[in-house]
Amino acid sequence: MQSPDIFNPQAQYTSGQMDTAFEAFRSAYPAYDTTTKLDALRATEYGRLDRGGHVYLDYTGGGLYAESQLREHVALLSNEVFGNPHSKNLTSMAMTERVEQVRSSVLKYFNASPDEYIVIFTQNSTGALKLIGESYPFKAGDHYLLTFDNHNSVNGIREYARLKGATVTYIPIVPPDLRVYPSELAQALEQAQPGANNLFAYPAQSNFSGVQHQLEWIERAQARGWDVLLDAASFAPTNRLDLSRWHPDFVDISFYKIFGYPTGTGCLIARKAAFEKLHRPWYAGGTIAFSSVMGDGHYLTPGAAGFEDGTVNYLSLPAVEFGLKYIESIGIDVIHTRVMCLTGWLIKQLLGLRHSNGNPVIQLYGPANTDLRGGTVQVNFFDRDGELIDCNVVEAMANEVRISLRAGCHCNPGAREIALGFTQDDLLPCFSNKDRLTFEQFLATIEGKTTGALRASIGLVTTFEDVYRYMQFAETFVDRKIEKQF
Ligand SMILES: Cc1ncc(COP(=O)(O)O)c(C=O)c1O
């Protein structure tokens, strides 16, 4: 356990200082002034943030909803009678029609042609990824290729691949930027076996470092025989994903990350040609056109319905359409511009923080500029003697000044291990005796291996004041000395 010797949660900035900093920021990032409509929305739609004195910097964890999204949803549910879809009664048909309308609005939002793509509703990105894992026709001789930088829900597909005898290969990322070396990518992409099932998965934006891995990889990989799974969960909230320009085979989305509400809805957007390859290992209510106990068989419903197990989250789905329309009314490019201005400023300020002996206060994990990256700023804090301050302690301290950050590995163990300098020798022993460990032995085995980092993620209605307050908080670490407590 670590505890900082002093911390004054009441440390406050003066508004005069902030105004001066804001003016300097505006002249360094003039594009910010094109995004002022978001300040108006912050006041009208997200008043709860400022009423509660919140500095919300966890947009990669979850987006925030506008109040009008809730009102629109409640009005719809208050005025209409909706029944469980997939039947021919009036209220059921009304709901089926609505669900199909939402499906079309998702395609439209991502500029995806209905001739090329279909949308399968899932609970979240993970649900979409699991559908791929269980349905992609891996077999011996096939290949699952993925970047070290991936969310666990993408990593987890390797279990399905291995179970079915496919080869699993990881492409490393390299510090400090935590990107893939072009030569390593080129070499890995050459490994697709002709005639085999080859699946390549990577995140359009890292949820750990904010790195944006290039969308150009999609075409390159496909040209070499790979089906491409693009994890867009942390990219879509602040970037345009134009599926008429880019043609990944599979894309997973969690809607709450884009517009906050509703949770529990996501989708898999699948290219029809690649979708035809998928084979469901089971069937469920809602997925079949006909099944028989005596005949011992079933026919899967063609298209998306065959992949939507049970009853879809039908009352929530209309809120997805409201959310997408809301983002369209602002413009994703406006959101992107604001996020990148604030990210550029924050990174520069954090990197400039020094103890009076010259030691840096933070270490940044990821690119130190705004080229090909998003608004995720991952750091650890160090005391004046260079001792790492536990990110969980820093997160708790931020809570005291109502700043919501996120500490941990962010479900991205590959990026964390490379960022923090872990080696295979450090980690292999954790799993060597896995099935025979008691819980206490397990805890001892992972001791010291769970260190993470502290993530600030900037989003839809982040203001200059939010990032400024984070910097004020960060400055309280200057010349701090931690005492270790055992
Ligand atoms: C890049 C990335 N992929 C996948 C996921 C999984 O999303 P969910 O937990 O909504 O299924 C996340 C969640 O943070 C993510 O950031």
Dist. CA 208 → ligand 1 center (Å): 11
List Cα–Cα distances, 7 to 68, 296, 389, 407, 484, in angstroms: 39, 68, 13, 19, 15
Dist. CA 61 → ligand 1 center (Å): 8
pLDDT class for 444, splitting at 50, 70, 90?
confident
- Atom 14, ligand 1: residue with shortest CA distance: 61
Contact 41, 233 (CB under 8 A): no
Dist. CA 462 → ligand 1 center (Å): 21
485 has a pLDDT exceeding 60: no
Contact 126, 267 (CB under 8 A): no
Dist. CA 125 → ligand 1 center (Å): 6
166 has a pLDDT exceeding 60: yes
Share the mean pLDDT of the chain.
Answer: 94
User: Catalytic: which of 267, 341, 391, 411?
Assistant: 411
pLDDT class for 151, splitting at 50, 70, 90?
very high
Mean pLDDT of 161-186: 97
Could you tell me where the beta strands, DSSP code E, fall in 66-151?
A: 117-122, 143-147
Residue 126, ligand 1, Cβ within 6 A? yes
88-102, 240-254, 336-350, 433-447 — which is least confidently predicted?
Answer: 433-447
% of residues, the chain, pLDDT over 70 = 97
- Atom 7, ligand 1: residue with shortest CA distance: 125
pLDDT at position 447 is: 75
Pocket test for ligand 1, best of 234, 235, 261, 373 (most atoms within 8 A of CB): 234
Tell me the pTM. Answer: 0.95
pLDDT at position 450 is: 74
Taking the C-alpha atoms of residue 407 and residue 425, their distance in angstroms, rounded to an integer, is: 25
Q: How many whole angstroms from its chain centre is CA 484?
A: 34
Dihedrals φ, ψ of 129, to 5°? -70, -35
Pocket test for ligand 1, best of 58, 122, 126, 149 (most atoms within 8 A of CB): 126
Start-to-end C-alpha separation, the chain: 6
pLDDT at position 5 is: 42
pLDDT at position 304 is: 95
Residue 143 vs residue 438, higher pLDDT: 143
Contact 418, 478 (CB under 8 A): no
pLDDT at position 430 is: 79
DSSP-assigned beta bridge partners for residue 381: 362, 389
Q: Which residues contact 347 (CB under 8 A, 6 or more apart)?
A: 364, 368, 369, 370, 377
Pocket test for ligand 1, best of 254, 257, 410 (most atoms within 8 A of CB): 254
Taking the C-alpha atoms of residue 260 and residue 271, their distance in angstroms, rounded to an integer, is: 26
Residue 122, ligand 1, Cβ within 6 A? no
Task: Indicate which atom in ligand 1 lies nearest the CA of residue 257.
Answer: 10
Give the β-pairing of 167-171 and 143-147. parallel
pLDDT class for 235, splitting at 50, 70, 90?
very high
Task: Assess whether 411 carries a catalytic annotation.
Answer: yes
Taking the C-alpha atoms of residue 472 and residue 70, their distance in angstroms, rounded to an integer, is: 33
14 has a pLDDT exceeding 80: no
Residue 254, ligand 1, Cβ within 6 A? yes
Burial class (CB in 10 A: 0-12, 13-18, 19+), 459: buried
- Closest of 178, 229, 227 to residue 203, by C-alpha: 229
Mean pLDDT of 28-46: 97
**Residue at token pair 């559908």:** 131
Supply 413's token pair: 């163990």
Dist. CA 153 → ligand 1 center (Å): 7
pLDDT class for 154, splitting at 50, 70, 90?
very high
Residue 153, ligand 1, Cβ within 6 A? yes
3-state secondary structure 254-297: EHHHHHCCCCCCEEEEEEHHHHCCCCCCCCCCCCEEEEECCCCE
